[in-house]
């Protein structure tokens, strides 16, 4: 990636920059995906200053600095997420490092040349990256990301300001310092929001998981059925090209498909062998009961879960229950979960049947395409059969 995208704003007039700052602030606060947000914050800060490179650090819960995004237009990797979720790269917050000093003092550092920091400063520049990569870091602008409570949540470090016209190295100006400081405060608010959204989502995902487990617990021989159904459904939805938000919701919502079984008596739910017609009629009520239990929520996952609970036993040809919906009258979520649920039930041993192998189960799905199942969903299922097998092994 070339550095041309960072040029325009450094040249533009102050009112244009101010307008752009407001625009960027609004855009940042509406971004809820943390990694996209972090990359965007650093990119926008570099656009405002025409900086060749930069690093964004986050302050972790245990009080360290985590390298979260690194961007460098002069080196091959223009953006690298340092480490990953399970093993991020962190460093101690020490006043002897540049980013550490900014975190400790809460003040901005604007350094014309990091190789000429006077020894009396108390902090120094670590040249190890330059030595490894052959890069020459020169000017540096390092700004704290302070939230409205005054807490420092991260640090933006911009490296090597470029002259807009010539592209030559220059120092960061005091105007740029001010702009980045404003951007950093907006970024801190956006970061707090994204983290809260993430926490909220994790909490309700956990609550949903426990609720689904409660229903499954009564159905003693289903093993990790609900987890597999969620995974299969999400994989199918992904291959169908459905939106990412829908796929994430479906992954959770599909696990609640049989929540209505909470109200089915054990003597029916755990009966070995065939149900009588009365028992079967009662068993079938779990679909509408599940739909009712989950109805009326404003939460998108619970709304989708209600739709799935109600429709996962509808058949493509109209012979299913509870409403005998036909073809595309059945919501897509129900069409997908019908395939995911039946496939998993076929592959698993139950109190009334032994497990079929993968091939036999797939054969049944194929035969039922256009009868029980949506032909389009069955086609997609076969297209991603390898992925389905992987999920089956992973959640065995």
**Which residues contact Fe ion by CB under 5 A?**
258, 341
* Cβ nearer to Fe ion, comparing 191 with 235: 235
- Helix 174-218 and helix 14-29, axial crossing angle in degrees, nearest 10: 10
Smallest distance from the beta carbon of 191 to Fe ion, in angstroms?
Answer: 39
Query: Which residue, 153 or 235, has its beta carbon nearer to Fe ion?
Result: 235
Pick the closer one to Fe ion by CB: 227 or 258: 258
Q: Around 352, how many Cα atoms within 13 Å sit in the side-chain half-sphere?
A: 12
First to last CA, the chain: 43
Which residues neighbour 86 within 8 Å (Cβ) at sequence distance 6 or greater?
none
Q: How far is the CB of 151 from Fe ion (least distance, A)?
A: 46
- Distance, in Å, from the CA atom of 291 to the CA atom of 285, rounded to the nearest integer, reads 10
For residue 235 the two structure tokens come to: 């994989």
Cβ-based nearer residue to Fe ion, 192 or 282: 282
How many angstroms separate the CA atoms of 386 and 238, rounded? 14
**Buried-exposed string 356-374: b where 16+ CB fall within 10 A, e elsewhere:** beeeebbeebeebbeebbb
Distance (Å, whole) CA 157 – CA 142: 4
Q: Give the start-end residues of each E strand in 62-146.
A: 64-72, 79-80, 90-92, 109-111, 140-146
Supply the minimum distance, in Å, between the C-beta of residue 254 and Fe ion.
9
At a CB cut-off of 8 Å and minimum separation 6, what does 44 contact? 24, 28, 183
- 69: Cβ contacts below 8 Å, ≥ 6 apart: 35, 38, 39, 41, 42, 54, 55, 56, 79, 80, 81, 82
- Between CA 181 and CA 102 the distance in angstroms is 12
DSSP 373: B
CB of 286 to Fe ion, least distance (A): 6
Shortest Å, Cβ 277 to Fe ion? 18
The sign of the CA dihedral 331, 332, 338, 344 is negative
Shortest distance, position 308 Cβ to Fe ion, whole Å: 10
| Closer CB to Fe ion, 9 or 377, in the complex | 377
- Alpha-carbon distance 215 to 256, whole Å? 8
Q: State the nearest-atom distance from the C-beta of 229 to Fe ion, in Å.
A: 6
What is the rounded distance in angstroms from the CA atom of residue 293 to the CA atom of residue 259?
Answer: 8
Considering the complex, state which of residue 307 and residue 341 has its C-beta at the smaller distance from Fe ion: 341
Smallest separation, CB 245 to Fe ion (Å): 24
Nearer to Fe ion, 20 or 231 (CB): 231
Q: How far is the CB of 345 from Fe ion (least distance, A)?
A: 6
Compare residues 129 and 395 and give the one whose CB is closer to Fe ion. 395
| Cβ distance to Fe ion smaller for residue 93 or 269 | 269
Q: What tokens were used for 356?
A: 């079929």
Looking at the Cβ atoms of 44 and 258, the one nearer to Fe ion is 258
Residue 315 CB, shortest distance to Fe ion, in Å, is 13
Closest CA relative to residue 152, chosen from 99, 101, 106: 106
């Amino acid at each position: 990636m070339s550095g041309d995208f960072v040029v325009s704003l450094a040249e533009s007039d102050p009112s244009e920059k101010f307008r752009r700052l407001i625009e960027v602030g609004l855009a940042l606060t509406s971004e809820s995906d943390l990694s996209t947000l972090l990359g965007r914050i650093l990119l926008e800060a570099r656009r405002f200053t025409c900086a060749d490179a930069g690093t964004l650090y986050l302050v972790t819960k245990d009080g360290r600095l985590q390298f979260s995004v690194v961007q460098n237009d002069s080196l091959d990797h223009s953006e690298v997420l340092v480490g990953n979720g399970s093993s991020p790269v962190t460093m101690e917050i020490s006043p002897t490092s540049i980013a550490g000093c900014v975190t400790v003092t809460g003040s901005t550092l604007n350094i014309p040349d990091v190789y000429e920091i006077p020894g009396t400063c108390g902090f120094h520049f670590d040249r190890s990256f330059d030595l490894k990569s052959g890069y020459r870091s020169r000017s540096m602008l390092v700004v704290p990301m302070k939230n409205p409570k005054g807490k420092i949540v991260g640090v933006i470090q911009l490296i090597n300001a470029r002259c807009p016209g010539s592209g030559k190295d220059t120092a960061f100006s005091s105007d740029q310092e001010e702009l980045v400081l404003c951007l950093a405060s907006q970024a801190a608010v956006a970061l707090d929001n994204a983290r809260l959204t993430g926490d909220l989502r994790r909490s309700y995902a956990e609550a949903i998981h426990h609720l689904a487990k409660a229903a499954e617990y009564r159905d003693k021989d289903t093993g990790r059925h609900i987890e597999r159904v969620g995974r299969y459904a999400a994989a199918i939805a992904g291959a169908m090209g459905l939106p990412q938000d829908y796929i994430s919701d479906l992954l959770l919502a599909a696990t609640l498909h049989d929540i209505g079984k909470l109200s089915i008596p054990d003597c029916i739910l755990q009966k070995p062998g065939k149900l009588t017609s009365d028992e079967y009629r009662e068993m079938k009520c779990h679909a509408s009961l599940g739909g009712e239990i989950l109805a009326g929520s404003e939460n998108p996952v619970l709304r989708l879960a209600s739709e799935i609970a109600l429709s996962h036993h509808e058949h493509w040809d109209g012979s299913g229950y509870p409403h005998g919906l036909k073809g595309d009258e059945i919501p897509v979520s129900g069409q997908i979960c019908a395939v995911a649920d039946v496939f998993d039930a076929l592959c698993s041993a139950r109190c009334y049947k032994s497990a079929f192998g993968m091939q036999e189960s797939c054969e049944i799905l194929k035969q039922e395409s256009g009868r029980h199942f949506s032909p389009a969903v069955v086609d997609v299922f076969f297209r991603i059969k390898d992925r389905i097998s992987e999920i089956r092994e992973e959640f065995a």
